[in-house]
Structure formats: structure tokens, C-alpha cells
Amino acid sequence: MTAPPLIDVVDLERTFDVRRRVDGSRRRVRESVRAVHDLTFSVGAGEMIGYIGPNGAGKSTTIKMLTGILEPTGGHLRVAGLEPQRNRVELARRIGVVFGQRTTLWWDLPLQDSFDLLQKMYRIPTDRYRANLDRFVELLDLGDQLDTPVRQLSLGQRMRGDITAALLHDPEILYLDEPTIGLDVVSKGRLREFLRALNAERGTTLVLTTHDLQDIEALCDRVIVIDHGTAVFDGPLAGLHAQGGSTRTLVVDLVDEADPISVPGATVRRVEGPRQWLSFPADASAAPIVGAIAAAYDLADLSIQEPDIEDVIRQLYQSGDRA
Ligand SMILES: Nc1ncnc2c1ncn2[C@@H]1O[C@H](COP(=O)(O)OP(=O)(O)OP(=O)(O)O)[C@@H](O)[C@H]1O
């Protein structure tokens, strides 16, 4: 018998009643906003999924329902076999939540004290707490920050502190909302490496909302794209690129100005002096293109620009229109 999915969402719906001012008058009318509707998906234990979509698409509303903060107005929802709203306390022991923009730590307390408080709140047995704390502090390189008040931590240190805090009680599912926002490239890389190790070592299921496609590329086997409150794509990232026909851009700085570069698999989009911009399919490897250019030209520099999520989604629609 196959295990039931860890997260099971069927025809989920959430509407909000809002009062909107009528243009040019003081009158207000009641309106119903459908933040999420007809949303169906399931996530198996140990999966790492990206939950992405443009601003206002319904991502936060979904995560709030999955974590029991918000009650659905329709449909069915089970997380770890529990109904999130009804079993909030029990569910809290099974999930961890990290919001990139907010901290769950105590602003004026040293990091260590925040962790100790969480141990008490979650009633984590001391040996398990110690083992987890030691492991995460080592992996996330937080040893020197344990006595620092949270308000004095850098954004990257605070984020690592928040992730540690969310994991001390061994949750089966970790929800991460924009975990790498505002971090430098090195910190982003380290954090992604940590999350991959967490998933490999402990089988923790990750649900990641992000605007950073590289987060998704580094971590997620599968993406669910939500727009206007409902899922418009569910599959591997390569499939999303292929379906949307999205492209990456190779920015080439030649030593000398030249005519537009001609290489198989890429098209020159722009030329400015010795700099040229070439686009190529996002799911293709850049290596043969770079190799062909390097063999024929003297290169001063080279970089790759990833498409952003909004672009990929826009292209998904455009290709849908064409179909
Ligand atoms: N409490 C609320 N009351 C009224 N409308 C709301 C409420 N929360 C969300 N909405 C509306 O529901 C829709 C979805 O919002 P949601 O915050 O879930 O989007 P999101 O995908 O998380 O966006 P972002 O990427 O900007 O955080 C939006 O139109 C939003 O204005």
C-alpha cells in the first residue's frame, strides 16, 4: 500500500470579504476576493517543491492555510494527516516555518536564549535539543553568534538563526518563504547547500516560495506555479522552461568589437561595443555555446543572466495563447 501524501490539497478555496470605496464617492461596497480557488495538489514525504507565482497570486494565502493560520472557505486540506485549522497545536510540532522578511526570534535576546525558549515551548527533550542545536549551529556556522542579541545579527546570520529555530523540534515539513532574499551570493549558496543536506539526511519535506529562480534550480525537483489563485503548472522546472519557451542570456565581453557572434544554439539580441547579449533556451546547457565562442573569439569576460520568475510565467501564458 502506498503512503498517503504528506500534503493533500483538493479544490482548496479561500475568499476574503473586503469593502471597496466606490470611485469618486464616499460609498463603500462589499466585495468578495477569491485569493485561492480550485487548487489541487499533493506533496509526498521528502519532496522539495517550489511554490511560485507573481505578486498577489495566492502563495501566502495557501501557506497560511497549510500551516493552520487561516481557515479555507472551501475544499479539503490535510497536512501530515491533520486538518491544519482544527489541529493547529499538534501540527505545529510537525512543521517548521521560516519567513524571509520576518523573524520568529526574540529581538532583544541572544540567539542562544531564543533557542532555549523554543525548547521549552515545543517541549523538546534535552538530548534531542542539544544534538539538533549542535548540528545546525555547526552546519550553519552560527557558533560565534550564539551570545549576540538578534537585533545585532546581519540579515544572513538572522536567517540562519531563524532556520535553526524552525528545525529544533525535527519538523517533517519546512515551509520557507523567500529564504534567500537580500542575501549575498555566498550566503545564498551556503543556505541552499544546507537545505539540500537537510533533505538528504533527514528526509525533511521542503516547500519553498521564492522569486529567485536559482533557489528553485538548486533545490526543487518540482515546481507548482500559482496565478490568480489557482495552479497553472505542476511539474519539473525544465518542463516549465520548455513549456514557456523561456531563455537565459549569455553576456559576452569580447576583447575587440566584432560582428554579431554566430554560434549554434544561441541568438544575438544586442550588441554594444565589445559586449554582446545572446539568448539561448533556459533548459539547455551553456557549456557548448561558451566553448564555441571561446574557440573563435578572444574573451575578456562572460556571465549568464537567469530569467526571472515573472518572465518565465509570462512566457508560459504567451505560449499557452499560441497553442
Ligand atoms: N486578509 C486579506 N484580506 C483581503 N484580501 C486579501 C487578504 N490576504 C490576501 N488577500 C488578497 O488575496 C490575493 C492573494 O494574496 P497573497 O498574499 O496570497 O499573494 P502572494 O502570492 O503571496 O503575493 P506576494 O508574492 O506579493 O506575497 C491578493 O489579491 C490579496 O490582495
CB 87 within 8 A of CB 70: no
Tell me whether residue 321 is in a domain: no
Q: Are residues 199 and 295 in the same domain?
A: no
Out of 223, 241, 259, pick the residue that ends a domain: 241
| CA–CA gap between residue 106 and residue 104 (Å, rounded) | 7
User: Can you tell me the mean pLDDT for 22-37?
Assistant: 87
Hey, whose CA ends up nearest to atom 3 of ligand 1? 16
Give the Å distances, CA to CA, from 102 to 27, 34, 92, 97: 36, 26, 18, 11
Hey, whose CA ends up nearest to atom 11 of ligand 1? 35
| CA–CA gap between residue 148 and residue 310 (Å, rounded) | 38
The per-residue pLDDT for range 266-305, each reduced to its tens digit, is 999 999 999 999 999 887 899 999 999 999 999 999 999 8
Q: Are residues 26 and 69 in the same domain?
A: yes
Hey, whose CA ends up nearest to atom 4 of ligand 1? 16
The per-residue pLDDT for range 94-132, each reduced to its tens digit, is 999 998 778 889 999 999 999 999 999 999 999 999 999
Tell me whether residue 76 is in a domain: yes
- 87 close to ligand 1 (CB < 6 Angstrom): no
- 225 close to ligand 1 (CB < 6 Angstrom): no
Q: Is the pLDDT of residue 72 over 90?
A: yes
| Residue 321: per-residue pLDDT | 46
| Residue 65: per-residue pLDDT | 96
User: Can you tell me the mean pLDDT for 73-92?
Assistant: 94
For residue 262, name the pLDDT band (cuts at 50, 70, 90).
very high
How far apart are the CA of 56 and the centre of ligand 1, in A? 5
pTM above 0.95, yes or no: no
| Residue 311: per-residue pLDDT | 72
Q: Are residues 285 and 145 in the same domain?
A: no
ipTM score for this prediction:
0.96
- Dihedral angle at the C-alpha atoms of 215, 217, 222, 225, nearest 10 degrees? 60
Q: Is 214 exposed, middle or buried (0-12, 13-18, 19+ CB in 10 A)?
A: middle
Q: Is the pLDDT of residue 6 over 80?
A: yes
- 39 close to ligand 1 (CB < 6 Angstrom): no
How far apart are the CA of 53 and the centre of ligand 1, in A? 12
For residue 246, name the pLDDT band (cuts at 50, 70, 90).
confident
Hey, whose CA ends up nearest to atom 5 of ligand 1? 16
Q: What is the DSSP letter of 180?
A: T
Question: What is the per-residue DSSP string for 235-277?
Answer: E-HHHHHHHHT-EEEEEEEESS--SPP--TT-EEEEEETTEEE
| CA–CA gap between residue 84 and residue 38 (Å, rounded) | 18
- 100 close to ligand 1 (CB < 6 Angstrom): no
How far apart are the CA of 15 and the centre of ligand 1, in A? 10
Domain that holds residue 227: 7-241
Tell me whether residue 298 is in a domain: yes
Given the CA of residue 54, which atom of ligand 1 is nearest to it? 25
| Residue 317: per-residue pLDDT | 61
Tell me whether residue 313 is in a domain: no
User: Can you tell me the mean pLDDT for 210-224?
Assistant: 88
| CA–CA gap between residue 55 and residue 255 (Å, rounded) | 41
Q: Are residues 100 and 157 in the same domain?
A: yes
For residue 319, name the pLDDT band (cuts at 50, 70, 90).
low
Highest mean pLDDT among 25-29, 41-45, 136-140: 41-45
Highest mean pLDDT among 27-31, 210-214, 230-234: 230-234
Q: Are residues 256 and 180 in the same domain?
A: no
Q: Are residues 251 and 237 in the same domain?
A: no
User: Can you tell me the mean pLDDT for 67-82?
Assistant: 95
Tell me whether residue 320 is in a domain: no
Hey, whose CA ends up nearest to atom 10 of ligand 1? 35
| Residue 7: per-residue pLDDT | 97
Q: Are residues 104 and 222 in the same domain?
A: yes
Q: Are residues 159 and 211 in the same domain?
A: yes
Q: Are residues 85 and 102 in the same domain?
A: yes
Mean pLDDT of the chain: 89
| Residue 318: per-residue pLDDT | 62
